[in-house]
Amino acid sequence: MMTGEEEGYPGRRLGLPASGIGSIAPMGVRVGAFSVDLLLSFLIALLFTRPELPRNWSLLVWFLMTVFTVGLFGSSPGQALCGLRVAPLHGQALVGVWAIPRTVLTFLIVPVLITDRDGRGLHDRLCRTVVIRSRVTMRQPSS
């Protein structure tokens, strides 16, 4: 018999485990991965614009980097570093073309903050994706 806490864990309605690989990624880890991506984009853009600061060029690098890496590999560099992956729902093979509108909506920030009880942002719901853990890290509680 499941307790109330186990019954309502994020991702249960989607058929995902409560913890470990394949479970819903916590918001704090997602924010950390996003921060890594922003820093990496800034540094890449800086290579082309120095001695000037990259200004909006870093946003273009972030957009292109995110669309290509999430579309092809299922995770951005920051997500990969943090052990996260963007997974399509309903048996699709890859995120693919959905990476473009998902990245545009992420850029707007607000859709990311409008979450459901599974912790999925509006951008993930519209693009039929979910951010999950792709590996177990030392900080995760054991099942």
pLDDT digit string (tens) for 117-133? 998 999 999 888 999 99
Give the count of beta carbons closer than 10 Å to the beta carbon of residue 114: 11
Q: What is the pLDDT of residue 138?
A: 59
Are 7 and 13 contacting, i.e. CB atoms less than 8 angstroms apart? no
Extended strands (E) in the chain: 84-88, 129-133
Instruction: Give residue 117's identity as a one-letter amino acid code.
Output: R
Instruction: Give residue 64's identity as a one-letter amino acid code.
Output: L
Instruction: Give residue 46's identity as a one-letter amino acid code.
Output: L
Q: For residue 16, how many C-alpha atoms fall within 13 Å in the half-sphere facing its CB?
A: 27
Q: pLDDT tens digits for 29-84?
A: 999 999 999 999 999 999 999 999 999 999 999 999 999 999 999 999 999 999 99
- Which of 129, 138, 135 minimizes the C-alpha distance to 20? 135
Q: What is the pLDDT of residue 6?
A: 52
Angle between helices 57-73 and 99-107 (to 10 degrees): 140
Q: What is the pLDDT of residue 143?
A: 47
Measure the N-to-C terminal CA separation of the chain; round to a whole number of Å: 16
Averaged pLDDT, 82-107: 83
